[in-house]
Amino acid sequence: MKLRIYLSVFILFFVIFTDQIIKVLVKTNMCLFDKIEITDWFYIFFTENKGMAFGMEFLGTGILTIFRIFAVGFFSYFLVKQIKQMAPIGFITCLAMIIAGAFGNIIDNCFFGLCFSESIPRNMSWDMPAQFVGMGEGYGSFLHGHVVDMFYFPLFRWPEWLPLIGGNVFFGAVFNFADASISVGAAMMFLLYYKHVSQIFSGKDKAEERS
């Protein structure tokens, strides 16, 4: 059990710390929509969004933040329960990655609006990135901060002759380290631990625990 606890704590701290360091560096060194070309298919492209992962927006920022907080609370309770039941280490890793990623974006929503000046696009009269300001003097209120995104992989463009998607970039979403942690954790969970997830939803794990 100790190994699972230590692993979970390490993943939580590593993902959250790494995610926040990247976001702060981008936000304080780049203007909104600045782009740094790493390769032809990988850019650091600074964007912000008020909604969900990968730049999607849905409902209001405050409502989504509250939903994220409740989701993290539920998954954290579930993680503790799975650790006590000695679930597979890989499954524990996936859960911790999902929780850490969600928590990383919650930090943006809760505090970035309070402690950062607003990020705006670069133009002829303005080329100053956002800066730290006194708590409560930022561009937004509690729960209404914007999530910082920066990873952009324009792998290729669809041929122009294709209907609907012709000319569009394949995987044009811009995302952050927290989004990647959530996505990888969720994908690994359902691909590698499908049977374990099925047992949980079918109630077999509870029956085995009682026996």
Confirm whether 108 is a catalytic residue. Answer: no
Q: How far apart are CA 154 and CA 55, in angstroms?
A: 15
Of 96, 97, 116, 103, give the one whose Cα is nearest residue 24: 116
Q: Which residues of 45-63 are buried (b: 16+ CB within 10 A; e: fewer)?
A: bbbbbbbbbbbeeeeebee
Q: Annotated catalytic residue: which of 19, 34, 108, 149?
A: 149
- Residue 169 is which amino acid? V
- The pTM assigned to this predicted structure is 0.88
Measured from the Cβ of residue 172, the count of other Cβ atoms closer than 10 Å reads 13
Q: How far apart are CA 148 and CA 174, in angstroms?
A: 10
Confirm whether 205 is a catalytic residue. Answer: no
Q: First vs last Cα of the chain: how many Å apart? A: 20
Q: How far apart are CA 113 and CA 141, in angstroms?
A: 6
Residue ranges in the chain assigned as alpha helix (H): 2-29, 61-84, 89-107, 113-115, 177-192, 194-202, 204-210
Q: Annotated catalytic residue: which of 19, 34, 108, 179?
A: 179
The pLDDT tens digits along the chain (211 residues) read: 899 999 999 999 999 999 999 999 999 999 999 999 999 999 999 999 876 555 555 556 778 888 889 999 999 999 999 999 999 999 999 999 999 999 999 999 999 999 999 999 998 677 899 999 999 999 999 999 999 999 999 998 889 998 888 888 888 899 999 999 999 999 999 999 999 888 887 876 554 544 4
Q: Where are the domains of the chain?
A: 2-39+46-159+174-184
